[in-house]
Structure 1
């Protein structure tokens, strides 16, 4: 009996490549299966729009120097069917495909990263694409033209389909060197370069073009071995080097990025708390296991290479579930069961499998099967699952309670990591640190007279269509205005305790807080309980309307970088005059000054003397911030405003 011949290097690489391709195909199928029928064709249409440049199609740039064309891209029946579904009037154009085909191909690869194709994919998931190019082959002008094309396609997808697409133009050499620019918008900049590449390797799906060569190399290889294998590839043989791009080796993460990464995740939690809880936990687990754990992307690659111990089983590997299992294992070993429960709830809410809803025959997706397995393993009963499925119907108080648990964990996690890290060697740049730090200060810090952020991150779920305001007068004649969610006119006792949102010394402060946190808007019905004279519901509606126009809710992560790097300035000022004063009085009796800043903060200060303290910012700043005055409707409105102007000597405009 002859002994089995050992496999050659190329044979081993080919076997790994086949398993990687099978895994990539399974991820694509999962991605498409979780999309709505309306959005499904876009998965095939978006790459096509990058491959061509035609005036009848979105993304067309009228310039001969515009780069386009995807490497290794071919026209298939599946793509044609998707195009005809999205562009039914262009049948002739797609029948004569040769007239559209690019003469040269400028884009090496189109690669998805993030939650798409995992259990975390939802109807709200963004599509984050890396558009990989050879930066040395494209001039600055050409790259700018390509960026214009990408932006036009993003805008088309948003306008026509309400789907959020982000194309990140990625120079392969810069990615290889972990250079991801500055922290702005969706980019983490220097805050977490190697960690970002690790996340890319963990979650990427090659949609078109070349695959990262990283996928072929065993997870135990050093950088030297990585390049040694690459040099052994020969064109025309399998695997062909023309099929791959070199985005760099990754065998370990950099602990010097952790501080910047933790601050970045705290910032992201303002918009996406459930995802940030899991990612912050991931950073802490990495720090705790620095000496003996491989990066998650390498553990994932090992499972793909092994065929998950059985060829064909690579299709069941899920990057998000793999990450989650690692987190739970760590916190259970630490006996931090409160954290374990929070992570479970956040995973379930983030993935939104709606297990309490009946599944239609043939509609049991891989996501539902995995999450149902988790729920059973955790011992969750149907009422617990239904409660999480009904998140949209949670009371204001329940949402705030979960928000507090989330942000408490994030801050505690950040503090634990800060104690263990040598912050003097962290890689985050000084400018990025300033930008990220100021965003966090805006969101988390408490300052005198500042309108506080609710720290919910629940989008519009905290919006209250009905709010009741009640006035309580204390013995020292101090007034307290309490806000309750719902129509609670005439209610007392327990009904009020369960629906109370917040209390302030003035209804004006409630409006500023409510608008700032997206709790109230022009459509909110305000119910004023007894003894709230002289304020009317019309007064409240007018104040909300003007506050929304002058101080629209701020998305802190969208604050311009240049604003955060510059000194803080007043952006808009509104003075509210005589709001709780009897309407028969013609004198200037009560002044509240509200103003917003370029760092996204808002303040409400009592007394006309507050304007003296702000005089320089309001009078001398260039450009001068707009200043307005709001006075409730009354017959003395013009006289009161004139009196106010005489006292301030500042250029205010009266709101009608």
Structure 2
């Protein structure tokens, strides 16, 4: 046994050294400096070292001994400030080991790869010590970033996986969606930078089911030395709960990094295909390690992931996705075979062998190597292909879960965050600007963009067409348009936010009825560019879990329909003392003929809307205010862009004033006052904007009786509710503040007795109130989610339906005597059960609760 253990240790050390060498060989001097110094910076704590902060900070790595370069660095520190280097305290150091994981050291590591570091620590660190260590790691991340190296640290309690503890969803953490799968990835990709060897590698695969007993027997026989190994536990059975949550997480990642996510999502799909006898990839690598089969380019984890996915796709006869996954792998490796110079020889050698096996010709390789120069046609084709593959994989995951009547164990909050981001990225809605370039090509800018308007009555459908060419008959007639929309604002927004429209792009416009001229178009492009950055940081989990709010709003006036253009060469009679742009002159004409809205919300969606005619002002106001729930933060910016031929400044100022007043009324602290309204006179008629409890309504007011009747109706009746009790019930004010259009919301309120109340707001803020419910809230969460995931399909892609817009769950709590809304957290492990009967269509609420 001793000789067997020693042989495995030698193999492990040899593979680990190979991976360290490969990690350093693939990268530049800055990366090598950071990678080489991180163990030293975590072992010591010194004012002259990066990451230092005052106070007691846990430091010291088990079995750490500086190498030659690290010792040179330490000698320099000592020369600058002689004295104690403040090494680890007496006893076993607090840091068990430091490990890089993920693509680092594999063929998937490219010159632009980031670095994920697990800092495994002793379980006896208290909360304050962990916080101090995290603060130091955060400072080290900033130091690395200053050198151009992207590093993310993850503090891992050595007992985390044994106790099934989950992180929080944010940054690179997957929250409650992964456990065994995260450990699987760590075990197959970890590179020990300093600290203890990983014990899991020594346990034979046939003993995995009895992992703890086998480890204890090794200690009992003296085959292992106590406290010499990092023991995160064995790889248990992969549950369908975790599998579904992990799949959602990979879809979440695919939005920003599609090429890498395709590989990982298909690996999960391959796992599900083998279920319940899933052979995790880490187990496959360990099996080969124990047999001495150091094949597949030295057990390269990325190559082995490709092997597993290839075997799966060939078995199910899916050549389309197999071809895609090979191209994704090639692009992820980022070693251009059509060019003579190579970053690292061994990576080029691996890729050359694979490409020869695949039978690729030089033309295909050159096309992929030229990805940096792809333009919109190629990028959109690649985006649609990636999206097709991800959606096909997701559909297969859903079918697997339903077929086996399995559930997901992610918490409702994490599921909410994941589904919200998927909804924001993939949901196809009218007016939404689809972003087609998630890290596919760095530059989609065009030299020429031509906007062509086709009026009603022509062979082509009426509206605007966008071409990436100068407007000659030959180029327009012989080419398909890039994009079409009924309204110009949407096309401009699509071109701008997808990076086609840049400051040096030459604009052209053709409109037979002069809806918009070149000057207007150039002004619009300039205004949008000045007020809307193309890229923003990704929305936080908190933002995704909360109702979406308008962040940046542009109100675009008279772009396509300008009533003031008729004033040219005319005498217009009006009274300056009664100047009203909404009821102008003797004809009481509204000088706003069209309004386009362009806004970005807190989920980073970009939306456009168009309103035309005399009621455009009222319709636009009602729409804007309806998208603001009463507890929303005011928009960070509200801009009015006006393109009228005459009275431009006056129209812009008056509309800006009206919009500001209405937003203030909608979001002000006096929102609970009944009967609040704003009277607006448009085209000679008076209208009332009524700020009701959950929405804003518009009502025409012909005379004084009708006017006061409307106000008293608002006071007396408000919005209807479904009352289960016979006495009058009221919706709590704190629920009013969270009401948001477009999503279904459940609010739980614990009652004085053992029951609880439920307030439900649907997508149009219609209300149902259930009192004195009995049973389990967790059961309700499970059944409602199952009901909506199987019966209400709101996302359409291709011929299939997928619903990402799942209900959101909240709890009303009393904090310091004040009611507040917090995300619903299960007291036990919540389960969102997948529906086994796709035809189910009865309300799960009435199935599970007895209503008194």
Per the shorter chain, which TM-score range? 0.7 to 0.9
- 2:651 is aligned to 640
State which of 613, 617, 622 in structure 2 corresponds to 1:612. 622
Question: Aligned residue for 1:4?
Answer: none
- Which residue in 2 is equivalent to 1:211? 197
| Larger RCO (CA under 8 A, 6+ residues apart) | 1
2:464 paired with 1:481: yes
The 8 Å contact of residues 234 and 241 in structure 1, kept in 2 or not, is answered as no
- For 2:142 and 2:113, the matched residues in 1 are separated by 16
Counterpart of 1:3 in structure 2 is none
Match of 1:114 among 73, 78, 102: 102
Residue 260 of structure 1 and its aligned partner are, at CA, apart by: 1.3
CA contact (8 A) 1:281 1:327 kept: yes
| Matching residue of 2:762 | none
Moved more, 525-534 or 379-388: 525-534
| Deviation by residue 1:388-439 (Cα, 9 ceiling, x = unmatched) | 1111112311111111111101101111221121465221211111110111
SS at match of 2:389: helix
Contact in 1 for aligned 2:96/2:121 (Cα 8 Å): yes
Residue 642 of structure 2: aligned partner? 631
Unaligned runs of at least 5 residues, structure 2: 568-590, 612-616, 665-852
Taking structure 1 as the reference length, the TM-score comes to 0.87
Cα deviation for residue 111 of structure 1 reads: 0.8
Cα displacement string for residues 451-498 of structure 1 (whole angstroms, at most 9, x for unaligned residues): 2332x322652531434122132343875333333x524363478626
Mapped to 1, the partners of 2:641 and 2:74 lie a distance apart of 54
Matched residue, 2:9: 17
The worse-fitting range, judged by mean Cα deviation, of 97-106 and 263-272 is: 97-106
Are residues 229 and 645 of structure 1, via their aligned partners in 2, closer, same or farther at CA, if it must alter by over 3 Å? closer
**C-alpha distance in 2, partners of 1:538/1:103?**
71
Structure-1 residue corresponding to 2:424: 442
Q: Contact 1:252–1:294 at 8 Å: present in 2 too? A: no
Cα 1:73–1:495, aligned 2, differ >3 Å: closer, same or farther? farther
**Aligned counterparts, 1:186-335, within 5 A:** 186-233=172-219, 239-308=224-293, 316-335=298-317
For the structure 1 residues 211 and 615, does the alpha-carbon distance in structure 2 shift closer, same or farther, using more than 3 Å as the test? Answer: same
CA distance 1:483–1:156, shift in 2 (3 Å): farther
Corresponding residue for residue 120 of structure 2: 132
Q: In structure 2, how many angstroms separate the alpha carbons of the residues matched to 1:414 and 1:324? A: 19
Deviation at 1:36, TM superposition (A): 1.7
2:488 to 495, 507, 510: 507
2:59 equivalent to 1:68? yes
Q: By how many angstroms is 1:314 displaced?
A: 9.1
Change (3 A) 1:579 1:91: farther
The residue number in structure 2 matching 1:144 is 131
Question: Does the CA contact (< 8 Å) of 1:177 and 1:248 recur in 2?
Answer: no
Work out which of the residue numbers 343, 360, 365 in structure 2 matches 1:380. 360
After alignment, is 421-430 or 222-231 more displaced?
222-231
DSSP 3-state at the match of 1:452: coil
CA distance in structure 2 between the partners assigned to 1:383 and 1:181 by the alignment? 46
Query: Is contact 1:256-1:426 (8 Å) kept?
Result: yes
Partner of 1:6: none
Equivalent pair of 1:114/1:200 in contact (CA under 8 Å):
yes
Structure 2 Cα separation of the partners of residues 326 and 228 of structure 1:
29
- C-alpha distance 546-186 of structure 1, shift in aligned 2 (>3 A): farther
Between the aligned partners of 1:83 and 1:505, the Cα distance in structure 2 is 67
Instruction: State the 1:231 CA deviation.
Output: 4.8
Cα gap change, 1:520 to 1:195, in 2 (>3 Å) = farther
Q: How far is the alpha carbon of 1:180 from its aligned partner? A: 2.8
Deviations along 1:33-87, one digit per CA (max 9) or x if unpaired, are 1012342222102222222222222211111x11122221112213245789xxx
In structure 1, C-alpha distance between the alignment counterparts of 2:519 and 2:39, rounded to whole Å: 52
Change (3 A) 1:339 1:645: closer
2:142 is the alignment partner of 1:155: yes
Higher alpha-carbon deviation: 212-221 or 590-599: 590-599
Q: Structure 1 residues 355, 131: CA separation in 2 closer, same or farther (over 3 Å shift)?
A: same
The partner residue of 2:433 within 447, 451, 454 is 451
Across the aligned residues of Structure 1 and Structure 2, the Cα RMSD in angstroms comes to 3.0
The verdict on how the C-alpha distance between 1:620 and 1:389 changes in structure 2, with shifts beyond 3 A counting, is: same
Distance across 2 between alignment mates of 1:548 and 1:197: 45
- Give deviations 1:92-142, integer Å, cap 9, x for gaps: 249x68535344532111111100111100122110111111232x22122
Distance 1:511 1:475, change over 3 A: closer
Once the two structures are superposed, residues 616-653 of structure 1 have per-residue CA deviations (whole angstroms, 9 ceiling, x without a partner) of 55595553224221124866321222443576573699
**For residue 31 of structure 1, what is the aligned residue in structure 2?**
23
For residues 550-569 of structure 1, what are the structure 2 equivalents within 5 Å? 550-553=531-534, 558-569=538-549
Query: Hey, which of these two has a bigger chunk of helix by percent?
Result: 1
Q: Per-residue CA shift, 1:356-383, capped at 9, x if unaligned?
A: 11146xx652211111100011111222
Aligned to 1:172: 158
Change (3 A) 1:547 1:248: farther
The Cα shift of 1:590 comes to: 1.9
Q: Distance in 1 between matches of 2:4 and 2:233?
A: 21
Hey, what's the Cα distance between the residues in 2 that align with 1:555 and 1:374?
A: 38
The 10-residue stretch of structure 1 (190-199 or 75-84) with the greater mean CA deviation from structure 2: 75-84
- Match status 1:54 vs 2:46: yes
* CA distance 1:241–1:553, change in 2 (3 Å): farther
Structure 1, 369-378 or 167-176: larger mean CA deviation: 167-176
Deviation at 1:230, TM superposition (A): 4.0
How far off is 1:271 after superposition?
Answer: 0.8
For residues 634 and 124 of structure 1, do their structure 2 counterparts lie closer, same or farther at Cα, with a shift above 3 Å needed?
Answer: farther
* Partner in structure 1 of residue 680 of structure 2: none
Consecutive unaligned residues in structure 1, runs of 5 or more: 1-8
CA gap of 1:472–1:320, structure 2 versus 1, over 3 A, is same
Change (3 A) 1:129 1:524: farther
Of residues 644-653 and 205-214 in structure 1, the stretch that sits farther from structure 2 once superposed is: 644-653
Q: CA deviation at 1:225?
A: 4.4
* Aligned CA distance change for structure 1 residues 153 and 328 (closer, same or farther; 3 Å): same
Normalized per residue, which structure has more strand? Answer: 2
Change (3 A) 1:245 1:618: closer
Aligned pairs, number: 626
Q: Tell me which residue corresponds to 1:396.
A: 376
Q: Is the 8 A contact 2:372 2:443 kept in 1?
A: no
Query: Which protein has the larger Cα radius of gyration, Structure 1 or Structure 2?
Result: 2
